[in-house]
Each structure stands twice: as C-alpha cells, then as structure tokens.
Amino acid sequence: MPMTALTGSRVRERRLQLGLRQADLARAAGISASYLNLIEHNRRRIGDEVLARLARALTIETGTLAAGAEGALIEDLRAAAAAGGDDQPELDRVEDLVGRFPGWARMLAAQHRRIGSLERTVNALNDRMTHDTHLSEALHEVLSAVSAVRSTAAILAETEDIAPDWRARFHANLHADSERLAVGAEALVAYLDSSDEDDETGLGAPQDEVEGWLAARGWHLPELEAGAGPAALAAEVAGLASAAARSMARDWIARAEADAAALPLMPFRAALAETDDPVRLARRFGTSVLSVFRRMATLPGAQTGLVICDGSGTLVFRKPPEGFVLPRFGAACPLWPLFDALARPMAPVEAMVEPASRTRRRFRTRAFCEPSLPGDFAGPELREAGMLIDPAPPEAAAAPARAVGTSCRICPRTPCPARREPSILIEGT
Amino acid sequence: MTAHVLLIEDEPNIAEAIRFILMRDGLRVSTHSGGADAIEVVRQARPDLLILDLMLPGMSGIDILSALRADPMTEKLPVLMLTARGQGRDRAAAERAGVDAFMSKPFSNTEMLASVRALVPR
C-alpha cells in the first residue's frame, strides 16, 4: 500500500476525534505507546500489518488512513516552493505542513495558482502594449505630426528675418500638421476609450492563450513525434488559464498528432527539400493539403506563417510570419487570398500580396480550402481554408502584388473597394 | 567648401523644417523621401552626412544603414538616425548596424543643429 508520512498525522487526528488517549490506542493496536507517538509525528513508516490494526482500532478504512486527498495539495505546494526564489521553505517537511495545517496549506496552494494566473495576465497586457498595432500606428502618426509642428513653429518663432515665401510655406505646413494632429489625437482617445470592451474578446481570448502557448513552444510539439502522445502534454495544457483554451489546445494537439503520423518528420523534410508544392506533398503522403499546410508551418524552426479560417471566415488559427501583421481580434482583410480559396473549395490559390505597412514588404501566399461532411450525406458541409504566408523571394520585388491589409479598422489603404468600416488611421472618415 | 547633408525622410513637412534649419546654418541640404532607392541616391550624392529616418516606405533605415556600412565607399559616412520615442528595440538594432548618433522625434531645432554640427567635418 502506498503510504506517505502523512498517515501518522491522520492517525493522530482520528484518535483525537474519538477522544482516545495514545496509550489506549497503542494497546488496542498491539504496539507500544512510544512507537505510536513516533508514528503520529510522522517519524516512522507504518507497516501494512500495524496500519490495518490501527485502522480497526480507529474504526476507519485502511485506505483513508494511508492515502487521502493531500497528494494533489502536496504537488501544488512543491510547485509553489519551486517558484519561491531565494526563500526556500523546508521542502522535506511539506507533508508535515499539510498534515498539521491543512487550511493554511490549501491557502498557500490557492495563492500560488492565483499568482500564476496574474502573471499570465500581466504578460498578456505587456504583450499587448508592445504589439498592439492600433496603438503603435496611432502613436506614430501623432509623433510625426508633433515633430513637424515643433520644428516648424520654432523656426517661425526664432527666425527674425525669415523670407515671406518661406514664412507662408511654414504657416501652411503648420496648419496641415495641426489638423493631422487633431485627427490623430482623436483616434488615439477613441481607441483607448473603446479598448476596455476588447478585453473579453482580445486579451483573455482562449485562442490567444493557445496561440501564445504554441508560440512559446516554437509552434512545434516534439512530444508528438516521439510517440509520447498527447499524455506528455497534459500537464502543460492543464496550465492554460481557461477551460475553453484547454479544450482548444487538446483539439489542436489531436490534429497535430494525426499530422505527425501522416507526415513523419524525417521523410516529410526530405520530400520538402525536393518540392514545396503542398498538393504534390499531400498526394505523395496520401493526406490532405491542409494537413501539409499545418505541417509546413509547424516544423521546427519554420518561418512560414499560417492562418486557418472556418466557413464563416473567422480566423481559428494564427501563426504570424515576421513582418505580416495578423488581426488580434475582429475579422481579417477581405482581400486576403485565403477568402478566394474559401469561396472555391479544392481550388489552389497562389498570390503575391503587399500588406499595408510602411516597409512595403511582399509575401507569397498559397491558400486552399477543404470541405468536410462530418454529418455524412445529410450534411452540413463544413469548410476550412488555410493560407501559407512566406516572405517573397527578392526577384518578386517588381512583380505585381495584391494590396491587402490587416483589418479595416487599422488599415490605412484608401480608397479600398473592400472596406467595411472606417479606419482609425485615415483622416476624416 | 560647403558641407553637404543628405536627408532621407518621408514626412515632407519634417524634411522641409530640417532643410531650412540646416541651410540657415550654412549647410548644403538635399532631400529624398523613398527607402527602396535610398542606397543608390546616397552613392550618387556622396554627402558629408546622412540623416536617415528609421521608418521609410520600401526599406527600413536599418537595412539601408547595413548596406551602406558594407560598401567601402560609404562605410565611414556619418549617419544620424531619426527615430520616434519608444523604438528602443529598433535603436539597439541601429546601433549594431553602426549608426553614429540618434535624434528622437519630436526633437528641438537646437538639438538637431548641435548633433549635425558634431558630425559634419568643417
């Protein structure tokens, strides 16, 4: 029978409940009182035979004495100790603590879990401050206008002998920049005002959590290659904050496991060295094109970005490639080739795109949509589309590219035939 | 001989203000607004100082700087980079790429003049 040192504490607790003296219990169990005293203070392991006799004398199940619900609690406390930094608690006495002060122990464990969830929130907020494109684009706009205003105004104020035509030009510039500044400041305030509402869908969204976890893992899960299976990832999944995120992570793991089985790492890499045509690769391995997409984007060290959407166009997976901003929340740009593919299942779409960023980098995209009939012939038909995003090869710099954006709200492109809502970055809209 | 400053900045009103300040200080100033062809423009203009905006359309200021440092003709060219406040990571990258000095927007005209004077051989 598995036994922890805690068994002694439980013996003592039960004895006191029953109002027995140590000597009485010792006699009933056929052991010496001093030996019982050592047992009760967890200084001796108890043999099966003695345990059974103690249980009988205490009118309690042997198992209840030996096991108990403290196992999980002890694990939590060990984790708390590991995160404790310099002040190392007495790890060897953790069972003693749980046995003697169960309430305090539970509170310690609960606080440890709470700290973990607060740390995740802080990280998410931090991440948001750094990567929020709404905020940084709007701030950049304001800073640029402020710079021009400051310099120009100083020239007008400090140059006494300024020529009339220069003066007129600077006045005009000042006027234009102050207008721009007013619009930019308004956009900033409007954004900051409304960002509270985004908390539900943005910051703590389960999808963000899952993607954050996968990004931290480099998007690749080696456990699934070695055949260790999803069980090897159970602890990490359990560490995600929300139940929805845990469920989504398990779904992704199941798919990744199937992908890894259909496209084993070594042969797939070898095949990829010959061709990066997803359709040809899918045919060679007898699997679906979208599973090839997922595999290509999640190989160790893969730079390729990947977005996946469902039939409603909602992005259900986002692995951003460097330099290509994906919407954090809300819908994507309707001009993405992803949606061409969504409308025409099984037809490959390849297109060069140029996102609306100041660097004007180009990307090669390949999109494909696969329908499925999980309800058999009676339907419904579900669709899923994926789009691989790679940096364009240098020779494509002059080729025609489709002008796309991230999401209307933060897209500066104007005019745009596909715009569905005004941008916070465009004047007067 | 008048020192020649080349300014690559895509915000026209900022460029105009800088140009005015430097011209008043007796420098010859030419301006350019694009990033993609910036390296070619620098090679042809052969300025004594390059003022380079960090964020340009077509090519980032850091990429331009790296290309210039790799070319024997421009490897020693003094470069003053214009950044916006809060671009800490980009500044670190520019330092690695070999920038000589930074100027944060919004800058004061006095600061700008002082930095330029320090970098231009007279």
In a domain, A118, yes or no: no
Where helices occur in A195-288 by DSSP H, the ranges are: 198-201, 206-216, 234-238, 243-262, 265-274, 278-285
Beta bridge partners of A299: none
* One domain for residues A144 and A169: yes
* One domain for residues A61 and A73: yes
pLDDT at A170: 92
* One domain for residues A212 and A177: no
* Range of the structural domain that residue A333 is part of: 303-429
Q: Which of A88-97, A164-173, B50-59, B83-92 has the lowest mean pLDDT?
A: B83-92
Domains of chain B: 4-119 (3.40.50.2300)
* One domain for residues A264 and A338: no
A173–chain B Cβ distance below 8 A for any pair: yes
* One domain for residues A232 and A277: yes
pLDDT at A195: 53
B2: pLDDT strictly greater than 60? yes
Rounded to the nearest angstrom, the minimum Cα separation between B34 and chain A is 10
* One domain for residues A336 and A404: yes
ipTM of the complex: 0.85
Tell me how crowded residue B70 is: count the other CB atoms within 10 A of its CB. 12
In a domain, A114, yes or no: no
Rounded to the nearest angstrom, the minimum Cα separation between B73 and chain A is 24
* One domain for residues A415 and A328: yes
A152–chain B Cβ distance below 8 A for any pair: yes
pLDDT at A280: 97
- Do residues A341 and A367 make contact, with C-beta atoms less than 8 angstroms apart? yes
In a domain, A120, yes or no: no
Looking at A201, A234, A261, which one is the last position of a domain?
A201
- B14 → closest Cβ in A144, A170, A360: A144
pLDDT at A424: 65
> What single-letter amino acid sits at A125?
L
In a domain, A86, yes or no: yes
In a domain, A113, yes or no: no
In a domain, A127, yes or no: no
- A360 → closest Cβ in B14, B58, B106: B58
* One domain for residues A332 and A393: yes
Interchain CB distance below 8 Å, B21 and A140: no
* Higher-confidence position of B90 and A212: A212
pTM: 0.47
Q: What is the CATH number of the domain that holds A316?
A: 3.30.450
Distance CA B21, CA A21 (A): 96
Rounded to the nearest angstrom, the minimum Cα separation between A370 and chain B is 36
Per-residue pLDDT of chain A (429 residues; tens, 9 = 90+): 334 556 787 788 888 878 888 888 999 888 888 888 888 887 777 777 888 888 888 887 776 676 555 665 776 777 787 777 677 788 778 778 888 888 888 888 888 878 877 877 777 777 666 666 677 777 888 888 999 999 999 999 988 888 999 999 999 999 999 988 888 888 777 777 665 544 433 445 788 889 888 988 899 998 898 777 888 888 888 888 778 888 999 999 999 999 999 999 999 999 999 999 999 999 999 999 999 999 999 999 899 999 999 999 999 999 988 878 888 767 899 999 999 999 999 999 999 999 887 667 889 999 999 999 999 999 899 999 999 999 888 777 777 899 998 888 777 788 889 998 877 665 443
A158–chain B Cβ distance below 8 A for any pair: yes
- Do residues B77 and B42 make contact, with C-beta atoms less than 8 angstroms apart? yes
B115–chain A Cβ distance below 8 A for any pair: no
Looking at A156, A179, A201, which one is the last position of a domain?
A201
pLDDT at A272: 94
* One domain for residues A342 and A421: yes
Query: Which contacts qualify for A29-35: CB closer than 8 Å, 24 or more apart?
Result: A29/A53, A29/A54, A29/A56, A29/A57
How are strands ordered across the β-sheet holding B101-105?
A: B28-32, B4-8, B49-53, B79-84, B101-105
* One domain for residues A278 and A220: yes
- A359 → closest Cβ in B13, B60, B106: B60
pLDDT at A327: 81
pLDDT at A3: 46
pLDDT at A339: 97
* One domain for residues A260 and A180: no
Which residues of B fall within a CB distance of 8 Å from A188? none
- B107 → closest Cβ in A147, A159, A176: A147
Looking at A168, A201, A234, which one is the last position of a domain?
A201
Query: How many structural domains compose chain A?
Result: 4
Give B31-81 as a 3 state SS string. EECCCCCHHHHHHHHCCCEEEEECCCCCCCHHHHHHHHHCCCCCCCCCEEE
* One domain for residues A221 and A179: no
In a domain, A108, yes or no: no
* Higher-confidence position of B4 and A12: B4
Interface of B with A in 70-109 (CB under 8 A): 84-86, 105-109
- Do residues A161 and B117 make contact, with C-beta atoms less than 8 angstroms apart? no
Q: What is the CATH number of the domain that holds A15?
A: 1.10.260.40
Rounded to the nearest angstrom, the minimum Cα separation between A273 and chain B is 29
pLDDT at A75: 67
In a domain, A65, yes or no: yes
